[in-house]
């Protein structure tokens, strides 16, 4: 029995020494010290011993149990310390790694120029109105004094969606809608997208943006138009900007003008931006044609008005020195991030 005890103890020590994790140690504990464990079982054989041998043997078994218990506790502590170390090692965070940065959206350059323009015109008392991009022939042409055989209706310029339906070629369509629904005095701007069947290149796009302006009241003259546009040019390009009115033609205004501003890049000396001329054309304008007022039910004897149409894309490309208009429509993040 003594030999048996020795053998069990040896086997237990050996097993403890080679155990590699806490689970294995627990299995060893159950195997030797558990209710049905080998060292427990040996105690049950004590009945077969003589009364003198029993206490001796009992003491030996208890000593063996105790030392196995101690070894197990030691090994357990050792293994759990190692496990903690390993866990710490596995979960180490490398604080020198570059962080993931969240990209934040920016305001599109077209929108930031538009926001500035809306501020300028609102400070002069203009309302902002909206109009549909799909228009009827009547609003886009007919009521704007563009007769049916006018070249502006040519299939090459206009995207027709049906007999009478088209993509508006100019925000001037919104003038008519405004005059139909509002009574003078009228002072509105209508920013929006317009469409023309143009070839795409660095300065042309089949979709672009205009801001229409319209003022109708008693006694409105060309001087009011000049004053408003000069004020606008000074606010957007700076106080020293010169404004030039050139005679022009639009079917819905009489007289009509095209408006140039002195080049903000070279101050009028001539450079790449203004193609050497010193001037940049920014808009078309004029006094609202009496036929247009009449078409909208406004008496041209009593009222007069002026209108202008500003190209937003040109304004944006010159302000930010953008060399190609297509960049405004491609939504390339590398481009948009720069503003």
Q: What is the torsion angle, in degrees rounded to the nearest 10, for the CA atoms of residue 36, residue 40, residue 45 and residue 46?
A: -150
Least Cβ distance, residue 94 to ligand PHE (angstroms): 59
**With respect to ligand PHE, which residue has the nearer C-beta, 172 or 205?**
172
How many Å apart are CA 168 and CA 312, to the nearest integer? 16
> Nearer to ligand PHE by C-beta: 12 or 282?
282
C-alpha closest to that of 1 among 37, 38, 36: 38
Q: Return the number of the residue (170 or 241) whose C-beta is nearest ligand PHE.
A: 170
Binding site for ligand PHE (CB under 6 A): 170, 172, 212, 250, 253, 284-286, 307-309
Q: Closest distance between ligand PHE and the C-beta of residue 339, in Å? A: 26
Tell the smallest beta-carbon distance from residue 266 to ligand PHE (Å): 26
Q: Select 203 or 323, whichever has its Cβ closest to ligand PHE.
A: 203
The residues with which 279 forms a beta bridge, in sequence order, are 262
Short-list 72, 24, 35, 307, CA closest to 172: 307
DSSP 82: H
What is the rounded CA–CA span in Å between residue 144 and residue 158?
A: 15
Q: Closest CB to ligand PHE belongs to which residue?
A: 309
Is the CB of 256 or the CB of 262 nearer to ligand PHE? 256
CB of 248 to ligand PHE, least distance (A): 8
Distance in angstroms (rounded) separating the CA atoms of residues 40 and 46: 11
Place of tokens 């009827």: 136
Question: Considering the complex, what minimum distance in angstroms separates the CB of residue 295 from ligand PHE?
Answer: 15
219: DSSP letter: T
């Amino acid at each position: 029995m003594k030999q048996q005890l020795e053998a069990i103890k040896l086997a237990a020590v050996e097993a403890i020494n080679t155990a590699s994790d806490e689970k294995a140690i627990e299995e060893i504990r159950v195997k030797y010290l558990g209710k049905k464990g080998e060292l427990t079982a040996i105690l049950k054989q004590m009945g077969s011993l003589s009364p003198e041998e029993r206490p001796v043997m009992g003491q030996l078994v208890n000593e063996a149990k105790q030392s196995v218990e101690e070894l197990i506790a030691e090994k357990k502590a050792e293994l759990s310390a190692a496990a903690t170390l390993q866990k710490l090692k596995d979960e180490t965070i490398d604080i020198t790694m570059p962080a993931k940065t969240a990209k934040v959206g920016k305001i599109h350059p077209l929108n930031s120029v538009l926001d500035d323009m809306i501020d300028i015109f609102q400070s002069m008392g203009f309302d902002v109105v909206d109009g549909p991009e799909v228009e009827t022939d009547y609003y886009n042409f007919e009521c704007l004094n563009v007769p049916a055989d006018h070249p502006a209706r040519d299939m090459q310029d206009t995207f027709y969606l049906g007999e009478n339906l088209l993509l508006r070629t100019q925000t001037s369509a919104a003038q008519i809608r405004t005059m139909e629904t509002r009574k003078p005095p009228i002072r509105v701007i209508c920013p929006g997208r317009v469409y023309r069947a143009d070839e795409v290149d660095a300065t042309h796009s089949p979709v672009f943006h205009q801001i229409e302006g319209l003022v109708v009241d008693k006694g409105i003259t060309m001087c009011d138009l000049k004053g408003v546009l000069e004020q606008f040019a000074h606010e957007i390009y700076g106080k020293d900007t010169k404004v030039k009115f050139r005679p022009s033609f639009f079917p819905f205004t009489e007289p009509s003008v095209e408006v140039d501003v002195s080049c903000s890049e070279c101050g009028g000396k001539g450079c790449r931006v203004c193609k050497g001329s010193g001037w940049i054309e920014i808009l078309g304008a004029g006094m609202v044609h009496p036929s247009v007022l009449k078409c909208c039910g406004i008496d041209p004897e009593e009222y007069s008005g002026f209108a202008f149409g500003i190209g937003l894309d040109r304004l944006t490309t010159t302000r930010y020195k953008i060399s190609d208009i297509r960049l405004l429509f491609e939504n390339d993040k590398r481009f948009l991030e720069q503003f």
